[in-house]
Amino acid sequence: MKHAFYLGVVLLGTWLLWSGHYTPLIISFGVASCAVVVWITHRMDTIDDESVPLEHVLAIAIYLPWLCWQVILSSLAVARIILSPKISIDPGFVNPKMSQKTDLGEVIHANSITLTPGTVSVELHDHDILTHALTKKMADELMEGAIDRRVDRMEGGS
Amino acid sequence: MSAVLIIVSDICLVVGAIFCLIGALGMLRLPGFYTRLHAAGMIDTTGAGFLVLGFMIKAGLSLITIKLMFLLLFLLIASPTATHALAKTAYRNGHEPYRKDGPSSSS
């Protein structure tokens, strides 16, 4: 019930931000369509912590800036490799540990790896992610498990 | 809009464009399928990210900025998913990755 309520609030907020037309008629259309969506979602029985991860919003807000900084750092590293006169890379596959338990945590972990230039998640296994890394250094940094620890903290930090 | 904001947004746009260019160059220069994915991934994270950030500063505090923010959010979810799908498909079909001291892949 709590999740359904928050879903409605989030939908309505999103709708108001996207619309930009604030006349009574249009707003009532928005309220009605949000209510219908919440009702349909409730009937589909898909309202849970995974579709409405409100316990994790704060943790994600802390995690995102760190991830952005990592993306910028490794972008510079990849750019340096591409721009150097002689390309020196040492690509290969590694299997960093994945200790997340929920689907959401696993998706965030794998997508974080892919977002960071120089590493691409290839296949998810039960407890690790098959990852392709551009250089040995990037592979080593990934194996230190900074992303895993932070995503884990976010998953647990409700 | 103040001169400082104009300069900051211009810098963001230029940086984004440079990263797109470097990514495209990387797709041409790097050997093998998987390594080229890394360059392509840089275009749609860092390149597109800085471009949208520049547009957001240019738009100021308005509904357009909110829409650009959502655009960035969708990009941050959609582009790694697409990259992952490509890599996984290549891996499942037994595509031989480029290795520094092994038989190099043909593509």
> Which residues on B lie below 8 Å from A117 (Cβ)?
38-39, 41-42, 45-46
Distances (CA, A) of B88 to A69, A114, B30, B85: 26, 12, 19, 5
pLDDT at position B105 is 46
ipTM of the complex: 0.84
**Residue A122 to residue B84, Cβ atoms within 8 A:** yes
**Residue B41 to residue A132, Cβ atoms within 8 A:** no
Q: Residue ranges per domain, chain A? A: 2-44, 56-156
* Backbone phi and psi for residue B51, each to the nearest 5 degrees, phi listed first: -60, -50
Range with the lowest mean pLDDT among A68-72, A98-102, A107-111?
A: A98-102
- CA nearest to A82 within chain B: B26
**pTM assigned to the model:** 0.83
SS3 content of chain A, % helix, strand, coil (to 5): 65, 10, 25
Helix B33-42 × helix B63-92 angle, to 10°: 180
A138 close contact with B: CB closer than 8 A:
no
| Among B38, B67, B91, beta carbon nearest to A78 | B38
Find which of B19, B44, B46, B72 to mutate to test the A interface (most A CBs within 10 Å of its CB). B46
Q: Which two tokens stand for residue A131?
A: 């990852």
The amino acid that residue A59 corresponds to is: A
**Residue A111 to residue B99, Cβ atoms within 8 A:** no
Helix A103-115 × helix A146-156 angle, to 10°: 150
C-alpha distance from A117 to closest chain B C-alpha (Å):
5
Look at the block and give the residue holding tokens 């080593």: A140
A21: pLDDT strictly greater than 80: yes
Asked if B16 and B47 touch (Cβ cutoff 8 Å), the reply is yes
Cβ–Cβ pairs < 8 A, chains A and B:
102
Distances (CA, A) of B39 to A3, A47, A128, A148, B53: 40, 38, 24, 23, 20
A72 close contact with B: CB closer than 8 A:
yes
Q: Torsion-angle region of residue B32: left (phi > 0), alpha (psi -120 to 50) or beta? A: left
Residue A17, C-beta contacts closer than 8 angstroms, at least 6 positions apart = B63, B66, B67
pLDDT at position B106 is 45
- Give, rounded to a whole angstrom, the gap between the first and last alpha carbons of chain B: 49
Asked if A8 and A31 touch (Cβ cutoff 8 Å), the reply is no
C-alpha distance from B1 to closest chain A C-alpha (Å):
22
More confident residue, A47 or B48: B48
Range with the lowest mean pLDDT among A43-52, A84-93, A144-153, B48-57?
A: A43-52
Look at the block and give the residue holding tokens 């972990």: A109
B103: pLDDT strictly greater than 60: no
pLDDT at position A158 is 44
Q: Residue ranges per domain, chain B? A: 3-91
B82: pLDDT strictly greater than 80: yes
Average of pLDDT values for A130-144? 90
A77 close contact with B: CB closer than 8 A:
no
A121 close contact with B: CB closer than 8 A:
yes
Range with the lowest mean pLDDT among A123-132, B43-52, B96-105?
A: B96-105
| Among B31, B32, B41, beta carbon nearest to A120 | B41
> Which residues on A lie below 8 Å from B92 (Cβ)?
123
A13 close contact with B: CB closer than 8 A:
no
* Backbone phi and psi for residue B32, each to the nearest 5 degrees, phi listed first: 85, 165
B26: pLDDT strictly greater than 70: yes
| Pairing, β A129-133 against β A92-94 | antiparallel
